[in-house]
Structure 1
Amino acid sequence: MKYPLLAALLAFSVTLPVVADVLKIKKDAPKQYVVEKGDTLWDISGIYLDNPWRWPELWQINSHIADPHLIYPGDAISLSYDQNGQPRLVINKRYKKLSPTGRITPKGTQAVPTLPLELLRPYLTYEQAVNADDIASMPYVLGANVNTKMNTLGHVLYIKGDLNLHEAYGVYRQGKAYVDPNTNDVLANKAELVAIVRTFRAGDVKKGVPASVKIENVKQEIKPNDFLMPAMAGQTLPAYFTMKRPETPVSGTIIAAISELREFSTMEIVVLNLGSSQHIKAGHVLDVERQSPDVFDGSNGPRYKEDSNRLEKLVSATNELLGIEADKNSMLWHMPTEKVGELMVFKVYENVSYALIVKNQHPIRVGDNAVIH
């Protein structure tokens, strides 16, 4: 549960609407917890709640902790209940004074963040989702000052494009396409960072003069046609996330997993076929649902569709295509979808977005639905 804090962590602030139902506290939740270095508000809330993203309801319904972001390592937090039976977290007076300026217990100097951002950092730094049309218009690598496949620190690259003098750029390689499973449209392309370079000659495309850059950091072999973007493009998160459900129904699909594993779970990064075009925003929390398998109920009894024989499959497919009512003794049953987890969107492009799996009852898979009904 522990995650080391990075020096560059951003402070997250989360606001959620107050709900009328009483928060359910885990049966094994401790009555008291002492904050440790590396804890996040998400971690602490996960000790008490099955849905950690509802943590503001646990912290904000009392006046004893005016600002949860001022909770520090060394603080002792106790679980109590108000007159309405609502759970709340309070500072234990036996350990320290309530005022953040009057702390008497040695503790860390950095307030704990909401989420473990170091899990997200690699996907902010090393990967982008870029449209192929945009890639075609970007500056790209022509060659180098040495005829070698392994360009390294200090080598000079020549770029087709007009670059800003002394500016840092990321060199990216176009990767696999993110394809919508419903339309087969290419939504964006994966773009991996291969190097960081800095311009020392601006170049002039109209005059046939390439820009010149020096390699400052290299992750892998740089190749002709690798393209350049400003180093900070797509690297920043908003200072504040509002973690909430979308206000209107949403229906999308998990189309890729960064780990490229067949199944994955909490704190894994996935790609959705949802973006700003579908009014998706960073901080949106969506349910993950999976279609239950169809069952063919025939003369041999109920069997999953894939276990049915060819004739049964042909009959059921033909009846379904022609709209013919199935024989009550031979029928294909379409089962409902079931919730298997939750995810939070943290980075949004026009047609795709990156999301963090925050909860799962079963392993999550590519092809599972990301929805709000």
Structure 2
Amino acid sequence: MRGLLYGVVGACLLWAGTAAAERADRLQLQENHPTEYVVVKGDTLWGISGRFLQSPWLWPEVWSVNPQISNPHLIYPGDQIYLTWVDGKPRLNLRRGIRKLSPHVRVQELEQPVPAIPLRDIASFLNDNLVTQQDALEAAPYVIGGRNESIISGAGDRVYARGTLLDEDAKQQTLYRPSRQYTHPVTGALLGYELHKVADVEVAAYDDDIITLDLQKTREEVRLRDRVLPNSSERIQSIFHPQPGDELRDGLIIDVLGGVAKIGQFDAVAISAGEDDGLEPGDVFAIYKKGEAVKDPIKGEVIRLPSERAGELMVFKTFDRVSYALVMKATNVISVGDELRAP
């Protein structure tokens, strides 16, 4: 009995030591990490953390235990970040910078906290793009014409749509245009249709299934067959809580957003997983470039070389079966079809 007890205790201690070792390994510092850093305008939390940590998405683990940084997302230019050690573990401390204030009316803070990631690279995708399923797209009303028989309309014009609004109580609606269809490159399954925003509209009248719409703000000309969907405008999320994503089954990069051909750092991409797979904004995945197919010079067989890590990305917007993510690090050429794994 005593031997069994010692064995259980020993196993627990071994497990605890292994867990601590794994946590310490996860929080490895950069070889050339600074001992302190002064925040400047244009910094991001990811970039600041990357100066200290090999895995910058683990910054909440370093800051969450620090009472001086109760909210690590409220760090301003001029603040000083410095590194200390507590019980053998790295800890980031904050020393607030000196701010000179003058007595005048203020409608907002003089300085905004640095964002988690570069918002300028994803702002348009946060608010303007939408990925929906086929049934929702087919159920949405569609533009059938404009006033004075016009087939192309702009801001200030009136257009007519046919169908039933998905949210009949909302006066403010949005016109979207299907831009592409997402299918899984391996399974061939339909993942959804990407829509891009065309215009903000206001419902002026109903007549059976004919809807009168006044165009308020247009991004491009309104055309026949544009779809009417509830207004999905939302505040741009600047605070992300990164966490390692779980293993994905057949998780792949399926498209690059913004019309660019090559994928590099701070490019936005679409991936083949979404809310149905448990993804949330802030999930981080490693990108693995698929190995090349080569021919064995002796046996003549075609062999697939091992996949190699090419970077990391962070999810910033999720839909049912598709998500948008930002490439935070690229150490190799990244392409559509590259694999996603837990980081």
Question: What's the TM-score, normalizing by structure 1?
Answer: 0.75
Which residue number in structure 2 is paired with residue 365 of structure 1? Answer: 335
Q: Is the 8 A contact 1:165 1:202 kept in 2?
A: no
* Alpha-carbon distance in 2 for matches of 1:245, 1:130: 26
- For the 8 Å contact 2:268–2:325, the answer to whether it is kept is yes
> Is 1:130–2:141 an aligned residue pair?
no
2:258 aligned residue = 259
Equivalences for residues 217-256 of structure 1 within 5 A: 217-232=217-232, 235=234, 241-256=240-255
Match of 1:186 in 2: 190
Q: CA deviation at 1:369?
A: 0.8
- Among candidates 306, 314, 318, match of residue 344 of structure 1: 314
Map 1:132-147; keep pairs closer than 5 Å: 132-147=134-149
2:117 is matched by which residue type in structure 1? L
Runs of 4+ in 1 over 6 A off after TM superposition: 237-240
CA deviation digits over 1:203-231, x for unaligned, max 9? 322xxxx2111111111121111101112
Query: Equivalents in 1 of 2:248, 2:128: separation in Å?
Result: 32
Where structure 1 has 5 or more consecutive residues not aligned to the other structure, the ranges are 1-16, 97-103, 300-328
**In the superposition, relative to structure 1, how do residues 248 and 165 fare at CA in structure 2: closer, same or farther (>3 Å)?**
closer
Give the aligned partner of residue 87 of structure 1.
Answer: 90
Change (3 A) 1:287 1:162: same
**CA 256–166 in structure 1, closer or farther in 2 if over 3 Å, else same:** closer
Q: CA RMSD in A?
A: 2.8
Q: For structure 1, which segment, 245-254 or 69-78, has the greater mean C-alpha deviation from structure 2 after superposition? A: 245-254
Distance 1:260 1:50, change over 3 A: farther
Q: How far apart are 1:247 and its partner, in Å?
A: 4.3
Alignment of 1:191-340 (within 5 A): 191-205=195-209, 210-232=210-232, 235=234, 241-298=240-297, 329-340=299-310
- Whether the aligned pair in 2 keeps the contact of 1:127 and 1:193 (CA below 8 Å) is yes
- Residues 131-169 of structure 1, C-alpha deviations (whole Å, 9 max, x = no match): 222111101111111333441221111111345477111
Q: Distance in 2 between matches of 1:36 and 1:198?
A: 42
1:287–1:343: 8 Å Cα contact kept in structure 2?
yes
Post-superposition offset of 1:92: 4.0
TM-score, normalised via structure 2 length:
0.81
Residues 200/188 of structure 1: CA separation in 2 closer, same or farther (3 Å cut) = same
1:6 aligned residue: none
Residues 1:153 and 1:118: Cα distance change in structure 2 (over 3 Å): same
**SS state of the match for residue 20, structure 1?**
helix
Distance 1:213 1:38 in 2: 41
Change (3 A) 1:134 1:80: same
Structure 2: where are the runs of 5+ without partners? 1-19, 102-108
State the distance in 2 between where 1:166 and 1:340 align: 45
Tell whether 2:82 aligns with 1:78: yes
* Aligned residue pair count: 314
Matched, 1:51 2:55: yes
**Matched residue of 2:250: which SS?**
strand
Map of 2:73 onto structure 1: 69
